Amino acid sequence: MKRYTDYLSKSSSFCVDKRHLIFYETVMEVFPMDFKHCSCTGRSLPRLIQPAIMAILAREPSHGYRIMEVLAEERLCQNPPPDQAGVYRLLKDMERNGYVEIRRDDHPSGGPARRKFALTEKGVLCLRTWLDTLREYQNSVAELAAFLEESLRLP
């Protein structure tokens, strides 16, 4: 039987909590059903990489490789970590939507200029909306988790 991790692409720009994978694989061993496309697998959680990148840029404009380093250092995305191409695609999408702007950063040793990404005013407003939304979801998820736990204890 395939494991959930077998379905994850090596080039995925997504992150999934390892505890979630272990729980999912345990459920799949006990109840071998095809949940790979079900929302119960947390497949929508990887979308949280956008606000993570925006939060990094809210602190300071950064190069793409530095964004990748901070994602790893801050343990914002781990299993699997986002791939570089995926992060750059997301940055390009955020630029297209007006959330990020690209600045030219001259190389200190006279080499070619590098791209530095910065959050725009629209990006800051979007990040504030993300924060409000996540706080609302956090409360709703806690209430739902308690309800599920209570329901599973019923005879």
Q: Give the model's pLDDT for residue 106.
A: 78
Task: Tell which residue, 91, 85, 63, has the closest CA to residue 12.
Answer: 85
Residue 12 pLDDT class (50, 70, 90 cuts): very low
Q: Give the model's pLDDT for residue 86.
A: 86
**More confident site: 18 or 29:** 29
What's the CATH fold of domain 11-152? Answer: Arc Repressor Mutant, subunit A (1.10.10)
Q: Average of pLDDT values for 25-37?
A: 57
**More confident site: 118 or 6:** 118
String of DSSP letters for 17-76: -HHHHHHHHHHHHHS----TTSGGG-TTGGGGHHHHHHHHHHH--B-HHHHHHHHHHTTS
Residue-range domain boundaries for the chain: 11-152
Q: Average of pLDDT values for 101-108?
A: 85
Angstrom distance (rounded) from CA 45 to CA 48: 6
- Overall pTM surpassing 0.85 (yes/no): no
pLDDT tens sequence across 33-76: 555 555 555 555 557 889 999 999 999 999 999 999 898 887 77
Surface-to-core class of residue 152, CB atoms within 10 Å of its CB (0-12 exposed, 13-18 middle, 19+ buried): exposed
Give the number of residues written for the chain: 155
Q: Average of pLDDT values for 17-28?
A: 54
- Average the pLDDT over each of 8-12, 19-23, 39-43, 64-68 and give the range with the smallest value: 8-12
Question: Does position 127 have pLDDT exceeding 60, yes or no?
Answer: yes
Q: Average of pLDDT values for 17-35?
A: 55
**More confident site: 107 or 114:** 114
